[in-house]
Structure 1
Amino acid sequence: MAEIIVPELGESISEGTITKWFVKEGDTVNQGDVLLELETDKVNIEISADSSGVVASIARGDGDVVQVGEAIGSIGASSGAAAPAPAPAPAAPEKSAEVAAPEKAAAVATAPPAAPSAAAASPASSAVQASPAVRKLAREQGIDLSQAQGRITSDAVRASGQAPAAPKAEPAAPAPAASSSANGKPVERKRMSRRRMTIANRLVEAQHTAAMLTTFNEVDMTAILDLRKRRKQAFFEKNEVNLGFMSFFTKAVVGALKKFPLLNAEIDGDDIVIKQFYDIGIAVSAKEGLVVPVVRDADRLGFAEIEKSIGDLAKKARANTLALSDLQGGSFTITNGGVFGSLLSTPILNTPQVGILGMHKIQVRPVAIDDERMENRPMMYLALSYDHRIVDGSEAVRFLVTVKELLEDPEQLLLNG
């Protein structure tokens, strides 16, 4: 008997919430089959079977909070009777066929595989060759692979016509909508996801523990827009990725962090830990809430490498396939509310980091060029929130001015790498 144990989930994560079991007691599983999905503070994790056998028990159900190292079920060895079962099976159909009509004979002939209901899953599942990713896709589309034979590909699963049978049953569940508030008006009550609770707690913690202050500036995006217009096509043909804004902002932030290293630090007790690396977090809005995957060693990456890295991380975030390693250890964060139309906002620190840069919508505004001339220019407001405990106001202002100057002269970024 092998226990199903909640594995180590990563640094600082000690518990998780079971979102869904994909098996039930009595099901036969193979080593590597996905048993359940666990939601943690940062990512969802699939727990797979360490051994083949029959699910003997499930001790904790959907929605339960479980601890790392806790036994939440068990897998027993497949019963020896399950394998020999097919041997006596031919004898029964032959006797039945002598007295039965052809239709009944056909029914009896198909009976042996279906008769041992618990064991039937074993031959079928062992005959199916599908990766965990393909099995997950099949579950999401409501497709039963137990009757399939041979190797199954993701294309075959997508091409199958038997999709949303299960998903359609779930929307019928919002019973909480029937509840009412104290004044008798209808309300809907639903439980926060673990990730939403974690986001809420961390944002409140940041405001309670850090001496958070925000300084603002604006940047003229004319030079970047002109450079992108001239170089965009050649850049794509060479690198097979679009030249976006985030690579410019990432490079400008790295340049400013090198000049003002306290914004690349964190507080540890009575110590200031100044980081000698530049792992830049890029805030991404996903279905379950905001996540901040990290672009590693951004100072060593070219523009194309940064764009590819950000694109890959954003896809993983929206597909809910980020690994814990994608989210840990950032030294500074950039968040872009401009993609949603935000003109100006105050970003909240991603603790324990002491700095976060907020980008906003590019808006054409009249700008004074000199005492006599006005021009319409594409302008963006920038916001830098910082921890005033270790970053002085003058340092924060000069950091933001440096970012502004680098963005308004993007050739510097290209020439300096």
Structure 2
Amino acid sequence: MKVYVTGMGIISALGVGKDATIKSLKMNRSFITKSSDQEGIWSEKHFGEVPFSTEELVENSEFNEGLSNRTLSLGIIAAREALKQSNIEVDKNNRVGLVFSTTVGGASLTEKHYKNYLSGTSTPNFFKSNDITYNAMAISSALGITQNISTINTACSSSAHAIAYGARLIKGGMLDQVIVGGSDALSYSTIHGFNSLCLLTDGVCKPFDRNRKGINLGEGAGFICLESESAIKKRQSKALCQLSGYGLTNDFHHISSSSPEGQGIQLAMQKAMEMTNCNPEDIGYLNAHGTATPNNDLTEGIAIKKIFNNHPLSFSSTKSMTGHTLAAAGVIESILSILAMNNSFLIPNVNFEETMPEHQMMPVSAPEDKEINHVLTNAAGMGGYCSSLLYSK
């Protein structure tokens, strides 16, 4: 059974919505800047921030039920855009579900409560937002979805796994339409965690560059609407593209590092391409995981080299523009890849200067027009999680 994408919604450092995002992608610059919101030692670090206050996001989400938090508001904004484009009617007669993913969840409310506690005030019921399912239930309520609601957390591959799970729900005949996405906001907990692993760079990240020094954390949300072929025909709707393949694997090497030869991500790409019957030369663009850490870019580069061998490949890491959006990375980068395919252009790997001596791979360095029929996007997460998604015209 074929699965199609009929709607997309996105909010990130690139802007709000698909039109603003396309415009930003073609500017050939990074949207990672010094923080306007973080305090203390983090005020000099660079992040891929969404340029709105939490209060503004809550207002724009038009959802004030329960405990609002930044991750939730980002998710609702993206989900509503996707649902609007798809024209899916959510009612009790439709077999519609929602699959959400997050790593940060409502951490911002916990941090707010801690500050309030120190000042002698309180944040009633803040702990409810720490439930990993809280934001999924709130987003489904905002959309009018009352059943078939799931939450997935596989670290930074979460939303890629959510997309594959949504596709399997359709392929298995359980649902006809699934709204799938992920959302994560910047939080001190995440920043301190990545800093403790010595993974943050002082400047702007340089994926696949010889002199890369680490990650810039980002924030954002993305949602896509998946539908079965029969559901699209019944509604006489139009698909944006087909989710034609996916591969989900585990490196089984180390809790926070990729295997030296990148076996996990290599196998994920192979599985996605086998499901689609695609050959390496068929892939018009690869959006790599590309975190700009010494370990990831080396091992992922080795895996890419093994898959594509001597075949010419256009690839880049869009984290050079958005920062690493954690659980939302898989779906945000899926949307960026689909936008590139449907608008016939390649997304540049900004900040790149010098090839890595280990594999001498040259990413796309400037926006370029290109007809693309298939795009591949990778996502990986701590715990060895590896995923690759393949979209086709």
**Relative contact order, higher structure (CA 8 A, sep 6+):** 2
| TM-score normalised by L of structure 2 | 0.24
Q: Which one has the bigger strand percentage?
A: 1
| TM-score normalised by L of structure 1 | 0.23
Of structures 1 and 2, the larger Rg is shown by 1
